[in-house]
Structure 1
Amino acid sequence: MSTNICKEIKNHLSIAEALDRYTDANLSKAKIYKKQFNICCPWHADKNPSLTIYTESNTWHCWAGCGGGDVINLVAKSKNVSNDEAIKLLIKDLGINTTSFVQNSQEYKINRGLKEFNHTCKLYSCALHDLKISLLDEAKSLKDVYDLEQKGDVYHTLARIE
């Protein structure tokens, strides 16, 4: 999936909102306005809060080993699906319009292809220029008809380059 789509999802959904919407975590006593807070992990039997929520970075981490990550990873974990499936679900749930992202992605690929093509053309142009200089030097070293017969391809190649 596009990095821009992932950024858009993360901008639309806070980690606390994702917890509330996609898990059965109890946020009623949580101090969700803090930079970080701990709650009981919804993925294992938890007597002491082992799930840390980092509100500024919009991430989470379970210290008992359930994992960690961002809102996409949280939804993937909650729904037991891949990150790609979680992204598709979030796009649908959040009503994110992906048309502009697809167009931007296609434009990016076209522009990247053009840049690569232009770079390759410049390389060939430089190589031809170097070959021309080398052939001109070779042509200057010809002294008589015998040399011309031995190195006659120099003139034919020069004519093709120009």
Structure 2
Amino acid sequence: MAVYSFNLNGKLTRVEVNSDTTLLETLRQHLGMTGTKEGCGKGECGACTVMVDGKAVNSCLILTSQMDGANVVTIEGLASEGVFDPLQDAFMEAGAVQCGFCTPGMIMSARALLLKNPSPTDEQIKESIAGNLCRCTGYVKIADAIKKAAASAKERGVETWKL
């Protein structure tokens, strides 16, 4: 067992886990961040997607020991004081949330895209969520939600998305 420190959703977090513990296990079992879902456990479905230093990653494929000093954001880190993030609102308004299992991973992948490109094309949106599987929506409403969030931010004069 070792202690690892990283910034989780804006707060310095210290956790003691085995060196072979995945970030997904640490988030769900040790830190109570159950919004991050475990789907396949092999990096194929994207349900466990979180952002590490602004990039979308499958938390089932990386170790907590690799996070020492990193900035990790989960779906729980997007809402602020009980108010949903505009991207979360866009998903609800577009009807992109069905069973909800893939939704946190989809939103985190979309947020990583919007961080680097606040006005993505349809092709860039498709590419950004290509690693996230959804069995309910057919992806159209998900892509619509991402476009809606990007357009809404532009209308409000937001040129860059915050981490």
Q: Same fold (TM over 0.5)?
A: no
- Max radius of gyration: which structure? 1
TM-score, normalised with respect to structure 2: 0.23
Structure with greater proportional helix content: 1
TM-score, normalised with respect to structure 1: 0.23
